[in-house]
Amino acid sequence: GQRAVPDPEGTLRAAVAEGDVLVFQDPLETGAPAAQAPASGPGGPDEAEEPAGTPVRVLIGLERYALAE
């Protein structure tokens, strides 16, 4: 379209890497209890990844003081 970003994935990765957006992961309800992984991601508990196979909804906060519901 007229307002398309040439490389949306690369642009999003750059914005996350530069700290321009906030990233939240919201586990989706699947009916089965999810195993808790230790929060030992490279950037601390905020950047710990979900265990493999656990579906998550990724929420992007564009404001500095964005809140997740």
Q: Give per-residue pLDDT as tens, 7-43.
A: 999 999 999 999 888 888 999 887 655 445 444 444 4
CA pair distance 18, 56, nearest whole angstrom: 23
Cβ atoms of 22 and 61 within 8 Å: the answer is yes
Of 47 and 19, which is predicted with more confidence?
19
Of 12, 35, 21, the closest CA to residue 65 belongs to 21
Q: Is the overall model pTM greater than 0.75, yes or no?
A: no
Cβ neighbours, 10 Å, residue 7? 9
pLDDT of residue 38: 45
